[in-house]
């Protein structure tokens, strides 16, 4: 059996399909714990053409930059990109949590 659960994404709404492994009586928290819900999987995002285009462009620019660098500069650039990726993850996590808080506030207001 499948159940649709709506979670707030970065700027759009996306749907996470939950396949229940036990029974339909599992709570959302139990499903999260058992790995049936993974809000970090952004399948809908990866299907967007603008996302794919931006990813190709980023990869192309990164390859051009790396082609102009010597070994020491490449290591520095790799360190920069790793730090930038970590910062992005921190920001994305905070955006996710804030979206969740907002959803709870909305449910409390209309509930």
The total number of structural domains in the chain stands at 2
Closest CA to 10 of 56, 49, 53, 51: 51
- Are residues 17 and 62 both part of a single domain? no
16-20, 23-27, 38-42, 80-84 — which one is most confidently predicted on average?
80-84
Q: What is the pLDDT of residue 32?
A: 78
- Are residues 107 and 69 both part of a single domain? yes
Beta strands in 10-105 (DSSP E): 13-19
Residue 24: which pLDDT band, with cuts at 50, 70 and 90? Answer: low
- Are residues 57 and 96 both part of a single domain? yes
- What residues form DSSP beta bridges with 8? 13
- Are residues 54 and 38 both part of a single domain? no
pTM for this entry: 0.60
- Are residues 38 and 72 both part of a single domain? no
Which structural domain range is residue 92 located in? 48-111
- Are residues 109 and 92 both part of a single domain? yes
Distance CA 10, CA 65 (A): 28
- ∠ Cα 26 30 31 (to 5°): 80
- Are residues 97 and 52 both part of a single domain? yes
Closest CA to 16 of 33, 2, 34, 26: 2
Residue 11, H or E segment: none
pLDDT greater at residue 110 or residue 16: 110
- ∠ Cα 29 33 43 (to 5°): 90
- Are residues 69 and 32 both part of a single domain? no
- Are residues 39 and 59 both part of a single domain? no
- Are residues 24 and 57 both part of a single domain? no
Angle of helix 71-110 versus helix 49-67 axis, rounded to 10: 160
Q: Residue 15: phi, psi to the nearest 5?
A: -110, 135
């Amino acid at each position: 059996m499948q159940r649709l659960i709506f979670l707030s994404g970065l700027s759009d709404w996306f749907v996470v399909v939950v396949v229940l492994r036990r029974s339909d009586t599992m709570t959302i928290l139990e499903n999260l714990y058992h790995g049936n819900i993974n809000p970090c999987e952004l399948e809908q995002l990866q299907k967007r053409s603008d996302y794919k285009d931006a990813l190709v462009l980023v990869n192309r620019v990164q390859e051009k930059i790396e082609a102009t660098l010597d070994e020491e500069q490449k290591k520095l650039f790799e360190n920069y990109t790793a730090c930038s990726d970590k910062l992005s993850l921190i920001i994305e996590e905070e955006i996710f949590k804030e979206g969740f808080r907002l959803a709870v506030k909305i449910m409390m207001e209309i509930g």
